[in-house]
Structure 1
Amino acid sequence: MEVIEFSDPEILAKLLERHIQSAHINFLFGSGASMPAIQLAGTVEREIDTLLARSDNDGANIKALEFIEELERQHAALSHAPLSTPVETTRNNYAGLLKSIDRILFERKNILLPRQANMFTTNYDEFFETAASSLPTLLLNDGFNRRVGSSEFEFEPELYFDRLYRSGTVYQHQSEVPTINLIKMHGSISWKRQTDRKVVFGTPETVPLTPIERLNANRVRQALSNRAVILPNMRKFESTLLDRVYFDLLRLYSNALEVENALLFVFGFSFADEHILDITKRGLRNPTAKIVIFAYSAGGSIDFEAKFSAHRNVLIIKPEVGSHLGFTELNSIFDLIGRNTETIYD
């Protein structure tokens, strides 16, 4: 394990660029990435687990629903958020990163490596999707089959293995189209469950339960069951369908770390999720794998160092004392990498 301090983004960009040129690119995002718009999910999870430990299942359901409804409220505000609001700031953060990754993939000339990057996230929010919609050249694969003639888009994880090519009209030269796979391991506010048969793409709910409706435990449970999300608490699974989807996506994450020259960037994620932590540590047995963790604070760096002290293929980037390493700093690094990549291949 190596720990370095964030000081000059140009130095870090040159360091990480060497890994990116020959790697399969992956990212892992947690709730810290959606700050300042969204409350940290870890805080909510602890509150829910505390209620469950007291056998207060109804209270835990209400807390979980409140969290999901807050995400839906923030999503509704995206379309008309003023420039200075936390919601707009967060969307711009995501858009800046997606633009840089798209540029890096577009400039990739190594035909042995896919022009793809995997964005794994445990977040339910729609910031990735909304940010991608503002980038006309970006192809975002969210795993839903948008077949022509279908009245609904069904979630099919096998679509993440698809690669798209374009060919010239004269010489039929084929070129892979850069693609970013969005893999939401805990579901999304736009996912809908059709009984226990399949997950389909839908519109996030816009009308929260009223205070009176929240007093009805059955009504709260019904509201939760309508959302195809894996709730942030110890009762991970609410149905056989979500159980299967969750493990399918965890398997995708595990497989991504096992390929040759796998590279994983971690941002806004604390590894409090034991399933993902265990899978990540197993992935580090791959001697060609490399994990780069961006620590938001010095305290966060200490926690990461304790978790990964036994692994030599982990790099932790921490902020200087008294400062933080947020999305602005992350984007400054990948923007430079994107610009440097263009220069290399010009």
Structure 2
Amino acid sequence: MPAIQVAGNIEAEINSLLIGGNSEDANLMALDFIEELAETNVDLLAGVDEQPLNETLSNYVDFLSIVDAVLFERKNILLPRQANIFTTNYDLFLEKAASKLPNVTLNDGFDRTSAVGSRYLFSPARYFDRTYRSGNITDRIAELPVLNLIKVHGSLSWIRDADKDIRFASNGVTLSGNVSKIDPAAVRAALATRALILPNLRKFESALMERVYFDLLRLLSNCMDKDNALLVAFGFSFADEHILDIIHRALRNPTSQLLIFAYSAANVTGFSDKFAQNRNVTIVGPGTGPSIDFKSFNSILRAIVPDGGVPQ
């Protein structure tokens, strides 16, 4: 928000069509939804000067700079200078924001070690890499802060390569082109090129996407199993049953903590119901004040960094 409106009831509407046996209209609704997102991201990557795009991008830049400042405060090698950003969004605002922060290293999970060509393949093992820099005179090494971007529902910058691998779309986000909306086969083919977990009960259109989805969810579970793990949640409803189940299991780790920022008082009630059995969940709501939007969320995070994370 405000560049992209919230998804609303799109998943329920698509599911209703599928349950009624109307898969053709369900596919068409999914394609229209994705294409609308793609159009916004084409404008984002092209640097179109529009207020909603600029405002949203500014919030993401601020967010990444805060997380980077938190990691910078880790002065020894006992704790890795890494933060994991899990998102179910398809858009590229995080990637675009990172490109505006020269000191931020964003690891999106693609193997770019090859010096020839640009056929970068998705390799989740890359999330376990740590990056160090040494001085040219002394042997002292320092770990560089790295933000791992883990897009559990896929991305508009991902392409299915013969349905065997996922590769990075080096030419940026593209639209599906002149797809005949009255041809069900053409609509299915347009959807099949996207490496996305579609918003419906029939989430997995391919074994490849199913495998990637559960690999990334396993990564979320492993992160939460670490001692003193902290998961900060913002802008997420926990409506995805797979993710909710994993979080519930992970919270059995008594040292883990889930900190949820709720947009409104109504959201506080919903989160309280979902996590009523967990004692290691804290929900921050707006109370009688204004809603907790992205800008106010950033201001809260900024307050925990010494000197606001501003270089002295």
TM-score bracket for the superposition, by shorter chain length: over 0.9
Map residues 11-160 of structure 1 onto 2, 5 A cutoff.
Answer: 35-78=1-44, 79-82=46-49, 85-147=51-113, 148-160=115-127
Match of 2:186 in 1: 219
Match of 1:184 in 2: 151
1:153 alignment partner AA: Y
Q: Which runs of 5+ in 1 are unaligned?
A: 1-34
Judge which range, 116-125 or 195-204, deviates more.
195-204
Note if contact 1:293-1:316 (Cα within 8 Å) is conserved in structure 2.
yes
1:93-117: CA deviation from partner (whole Å, max 9, x where unpaired): 1110001111111121142111000
Note if contact 1:115-1:177 (Cα within 8 Å) is conserved in structure 2.
yes
Shift of 1:209: 4.5
1:177-229: CA deviation from partner (whole Å, max 9, x where unpaired): 0000000000000100011210000045533454x701100000000000111
1:207 alignment partner AA: L
Match of 2:257 in 1: 290
Q: Number of aligned pairs?
A: 309
Shift of 1:172: 1.2
Higher RCO by CA contacts (8 Å cutoff, separation 6 or greater): 1
Shift of 1:309: 1.1
Match of 1:207 in 2: 175
2:47 alignment partner AA: H
1:234 alignment partner AA: L
What secondary structure, in the 3-state scheme, does the structure 2 residue paired with 1:214 have?
coil
Match of 1:5 in 2: none
Match of 1:169 in 2: 136
Match of 1:319 in 2: 286
Note if contact 2:176-2:190 (Cα within 8 Å) is conserved in structure 1.
no
Q: Which runs of 5+ in 2 are unaligned?
A: none
Pair 1:261-2:228 in alignment: yes
Note if contact 1:116-1:181 (Cα within 8 Å) is conserved in structure 2.
yes
Match of 1:272 in 2: 239
Note if contact 1:144-1:154 (Cα within 8 Å) is conserved in structure 2.
yes
Judge which range, 102-111 or 299-308, deviates more.
102-111
Match of 1:14 in 2: none
Match of 1:281 in 2: 248
Tell me, in whole angstroms, the C-alpha distance in 2 between the residues paired with 1:342 and 1:301.
29
Pair 1:332-2:299 in alignment: yes
Pair 1:252-2:219 in alignment: yes
1:13-50: CA deviation from partner (whole Å, max 9, x where unpaired): xxxxxxxxxxxxxxxxxxxxxx2222323421111111
1:283 alignment partner AA: A
What secondary structure, in the 3-state scheme, does the structure 1 residue paired with 2:142 have?
strand
1:95-151: CA deviation from partner (whole Å, max 9, x where unpaired): 100011111111211421110000000000001001111111100000001121143
Structure 1 vs Structure 2: percent identity of aligned residues?
51
Shift of 1:320: 2.4
Shift of 1:77: 1.4
Note if contact 2:302-2:308 (Cα within 8 Å) is conserved in structure 1.
no
Tell me, in whole angstroms, the C-alpha distance in 1 between the residues paired with 2:200 and 2:291.
28
Q: TM-score, normalised by structure 2?
A: 0.95
More helix by share: 1
What secondary structure, in the 3-state scheme, does the structure 2 residue paired with 1:170 have?
coil
Tell me, in whole angstroms, the C-alpha distance in 2 between the residues paired with 1:102 and 1:322.
29
Tell me, in whole angstroms, the C-alpha distance in 2 between the residues paired with 1:213 and 1:63.
14
